[in-house]
Amino acid sequence: MIQKTKRNYTILTVVFTFLCIVWVYPIVTILLNSLKDTKSITTRDVFNLPNSKTFAGISNYVESITGMNFLRSFFFSLLISLTSVALILLCCSMAAWYVVRVNSLIAKIFYYLCIFSMVVPFQMVMFTLATTADRIKLNTPYNICVIYLGFGAGLAVFMFTGFVKSIPLEIEEAAMIDGCSPIQTYFKVLVPILKPTIISTAILETMWVWNDYLLPTLVLDIKKYRTIPMAIQYFRGSYGTVNMGAMMASIMIDIIPIIIMYLVCQKYIIEGVIAGAVKG
Amino acid sequence: MVGKTIKKYWPIFLLPTAAAFCIGFLWPFVWGIYLSFCQFTTVSKVTFVGFSNYAKIMLDNTFSHAFWLTVLFAILSSVIINVMAFLIALALTKKIKGTNVFRTIFFMPNLIGGIVLGYIWQTLLNGILMSLGQPLLALSATNGFWGMIILLSWQQIGYMMIIYIAGLNNVPGDLIEAAQVDGANSWQTLFRIKIPMIMPSVTICTFLTLTNGFKMFDQNLSLTGGDPQKASQLLALNIYDTFYARSGPQWKGIGQAKAVVFFLIVVVIALAQLRLTTSKEVQQ
C-alpha cells in the first residue's frame, strides 16, 4: 500500500511539473519575443523561437528605455508606491490605535466608514475623485500619495485595528506610567509589536499601488507624468503602428523587478495574503 | 487611562487619515451620488434632473448586455478558479516533492498588474487563435470572453490556492487520524472532514472571486478593450466608456447613475457573504 501511494505521488509530481511549465509559459513567450527584432513579432510568428535572422539582442530594451522614456515612468511608479505606502502605514496604524483605545462615537463612525469604503468599487467615485484631486492640486506624482491614503485607508485601518485589539492594554499603560508621551508610546511600544501586520499591510498596499492603472490615469496629467501601467497602455492604445519589440521589452522591464522582489520576500508576501484574506 | 491620554492627541493620530479619507473617499462618494441625479459635462454646470438618468440606463442596451455578461463572467470564473485552486491545494498539502516550487510558481501571476497581464495574454491568445484559424480576440466576443476567463484564472488560482492551503493546514491532524482509525477512506475524509472544516476558506474565496470578477477593469481594457463593438465590455469598462468615450451632454450623468447601480450590486454581494459567514459561525 505504501508503494502504491509513492507511485501516486510520483505521478502527481509529473502532472504538477507539466502544469507549472504551462503556468510560466506566457512569460517565457514574452521574454523570447522581446529578443526578436520588431518585424518578426507578428501574431503568426509569436511562437517561433528567435533565430540568427530574427535575433535582436537587447536592442528592444534600449529602444524601450530611450524611446519610450521608460526609466522616467519607472521612477514615477517607484516614487508613488514608496510615498503612498509609507504614508498609509504611518497614518493608518496611528488612526487604528486611536480608534481602538479611544472608542468614542466619532472613532466608531470613522471605523465603520472605513469598512464600508472597502466594498465600494472605484468606478463609483472615479469622476468626482479626479475632479476633487484636480481642484485642490493633488495631481502630481509628488502628492498623489494623499489620495492613495484616502482611498486605501479602509483596508489598512481594518487590518491594524484587528491586530491592535489583541494587544493587552497593560503594556501601553506601563509605558505611560513610566513617563512616555503618547507619541513615544506609539513609536517605542506599539510599532515594534505591530511589525508583522505592518509588513503584511505594506505588501498588500504595494501590490495595489504599483499595479494601479485607473486612479493615476484619471488624476495625473498623462502628457507629463506616466507610471508604468499608464506608459504601457498609452503606448499600446495609441493609433498607428506599434513598436512590438519595445512593447515586449517594456513588459519584461515591468515584470522582472516584481519577480525578483517576490522571490526575495516570498514568505512575507504569502503571509500577507493569508492575513489579508482571513481578516477581509 | 491610555484612551484618555491619547484622546487629546487626535490632531496627530486621527486627523491626517480622517482628512485624507474625506478627500479621497467620503466627499467623492457623496458627491457622486448627488451627481447621478444631474445632467453635466463639467462640474461647473450641473442641472438637477431627478431620476431621469436612471431611466435612461434602461434604454442604453450596452448596459444590460454588459450586466448579464458580467454576471455570467463572475459566476463562471468564480467556479473555475475555486475548483482548480482547491484541487491544487489538496494535492500540494500532500507530501509530494517540490511543493514549495509549485506553490511559488502558481502564485506568481498575482503580482503582475492587470494592464500588463492583458497584453501578455493578448499576444499569446491571438497567436493560438490564429494557428487554429479562429477569429482574433478583437473580432469575436466569444473568444474575448473566454480569453478573459483564462486570464483571470491564471492570475487568481494561485491566490485562492494559498488561502485553501492555509485552511487545509489548520485542519487538526488527530481529527483525520481518528476518522482513518474508524475506517473512513480518503473520499470520506475529504467530504466529511476536510471540506466542512475549511468552509470559512470556501466562503472567503467565493466572495473574493465573485467581487474580483464583478469589478474587473484593467484586464478587460487591455485584453479586448471591449471589442468588437462593445460586445466584450464588462460593467466596469462600460461605465468608464460611458464617462470618457462618448460625446453628448447626457452621458456623464448616465455614467454616474450606472456607477451607483454597480455599487449597489457589489454591496448586495458583500451583504450576502456577511450573512453567510455569520450564520455559519452561529452553527459552530
CB A172 within 8 A of CB A97: no
Per residue in B97-134, pLDDT (tens digit) is 788 889 889 999 988 989 999 999 998 998 889 888 88
Per residue in B16-42, pLDDT (tens digit) is 999 999 999 999 999 999 999 988 887
Instruction: Say what the alpha-carbon torsion angle B236, B240, B241, B244 is, to the nearest 10 degrees.
Output: 180
Look at residue A239 in the predicted model and tell me its pLDDT: 58
The mean pLDDT value for A195-200 works out to: 88
Domain enclosing residue B176, as ranges: 53-283
Chain A hits for B10, Cβ within 8 Å:
98, 102
- CA–CA separation, A70 and A63 (whole Å): 9
Beta bridge partners of A36: A55
By residue count, chain A amounts to 280
Look at residue A2 in the predicted model and tell me its pLDDT: 52
- CA–CA separation, B134 and A188 (whole Å): 63
DSSP string, A16-43: HHHHHHHHHHHHHHHHHHHTB-GGG--T
The mean pLDDT value for B233-242 works out to: 92
Contact status of B104 with chain A (Cβ, < 8 Å): yes
Check residues A42 and B110 and name the one with the higher pLDDT: B110
What architecture does CATH give domain A68-238?
Orthogonal Bundle (1.10)
Look at residue B183 in the predicted model and tell me its pLDDT: 85
Among A31-40, A106-115, B155-164, name the one with the lowest average pLDDT: A31-40
The mean pLDDT value for A215-221 works out to: 92
Of B25, B106, B159, Cβ closest to residue A23: B106
Q: Which residues of B216-233 are buried (b: 16+ CB within 10 A; e: fewer)?
A: bbbbbbbbbbbbbebbbb
Chain B hits for A40, Cβ within 8 Å:
none
* Whether residues B93 and B199 fall in one domain: yes
Per residue in B77-93, pLDDT (tens digit) is 999 999 999 999 998 88
* Whether residues B22 and B57 fall in one domain: no
Contact B263 A120 (CB under 8 A): yes
Beta bridge partners of B40: B46
Total domains, chain B? 2
Phi, psi of A121 (to 5 degrees): -70, 150
Amino acid sitting at position A124: M
Per residue in B244-282, pLDDT (tens digit) is 887 777 788 899 999 999 999 999 988 888 788 766 654
* Whether residues B173 and B88 fall in one domain: yes
Among A56-65, A70-79, A93-102, B165-174, name the one with the lowest average pLDDT: A56-65
* Whether residues B64 and B47 fall in one domain: no
* Whether residues B239 and B191 fall in one domain: yes
Among A33-47, B38-52, B130-144, name the one with the lowest average pLDDT: A33-47
The interface residues of chain A toward chain B in range 99-128, judged by CB-CB distance below 8 A, are 99, 101-104, 107, 110, 113-114, 117, 119-128
* Whether residues B159 and B78 fall in one domain: yes
Chain A hits for B103, Cβ within 8 Å:
270
Cα of B256 to nearest chain A Cα, Å? 7
CB B30 within 8 A of CB A158: no
Look at residue B118 in the predicted model and tell me its pLDDT: 92
Look at residue A107 in the predicted model and tell me its pLDDT: 92
User: By percentage, how much of chain A surpasses pLDDT 90?
Assistant: 34
CB contacts < 8 A, A to B, total: 273
Please tell me whether the peptide bond between A192 and the residue prior to it is cis, using omega within 30 degrees of 0. no
Which of the residue ranges A12-26, B144-158, B218-232 has the most confident prediction, judged by mean pLDDT?
B144-158
Look at residue B284 in the predicted model and tell me its pLDDT: 42
What is the pLDDT of chain A when averaged over all its residues?
A: 86
Look at residue A278 in the predicted model and tell me its pLDDT: 65
Write out B107-176 in H/E/C secondary structure: HHHHHCCHHHHHHHHHHHHHHHHHHHCCCCHHHCHHHHHHHHHHHHHHHHHHHHHHHHHHHHHCCCHHHH
Contact B2 A172 (CB under 8 A): yes
What is the domain partition of chain A in residue ranges? Answer: 2-60, 68-238
Contact B266 A120 (CB under 8 A): yes
Integer angstrom CA distances of residue B65 from B70, B141, B213: 9, 12, 16
- CA–CA separation, A266 and B267 (whole Å): 33
Look at residue A237 in the predicted model and tell me its pLDDT: 65
Phi, psi of B230 (to 5 degrees): 65, 10
The interface residues of chain A toward chain B in range 53-82, judged by CB-CB distance below 8 A, are none
Of A110, A149, A173, Cβ closest to residue B1: A173
* Whether residues B35 and B113 fall in one domain: no
- CA–CA separation, B109 and A27 (whole Å): 9
* Whether residues B213 and B255 fall in one domain: yes
Per residue in A157-179, pLDDT (tens digit) is 998 998 898 888 888 889 888 88
Contact B2 A173 (CB under 8 A): yes
Among A234-238, B188-192, B236-240, B255-259, name the one with the lowest average pLDDT: A234-238
Residue B184 clears pLDDT 80, i.e. is over it: yes
Contact status of A273 with chain B (Cβ, < 8 Å): yes
* Whether residues B152 and B103 fall in one domain: yes
Look at residue A109 in the predicted model and tell me its pLDDT: 94
The mean pLDDT value for B226-245 works out to: 88
Chain B hits for A266, Cβ within 8 Å:
104
Domain boundary among B11, B37, B52: B52
Closest Cα partner for B226 from B207, B209, B245, B208?
Answer: B245
Check residues A234 and A142 and name the one with the higher pLDDT: A142
Residue A3 clears pLDDT 70, i.e. is over it: no
Which parts of chain B are beta strand (E)? 38-40, 46-48
* Whether residues B32 and B126 fall in one domain: no
Look at residue A106 in the predicted model and tell me its pLDDT: 92
Contact B236 A121 (CB under 8 A): yes
Per residue in B198-230, pLDDT (tens digit) is 888 888 898 889 989 999 999 999 998 888 888
Of A24, A91, A98, Cβ closest to residue B10: A98
Which of the residue ranges A69-73, B7-11, B244-248, B257-261 has the most confident prediction, judged by mean pLDDT?
B257-261
* Whether residues B38 and B59 fall in one domain: no
* Whether residues B148 and B233 fall in one domain: yes
Look at residue B34 in the predicted model and tell me its pLDDT: 92
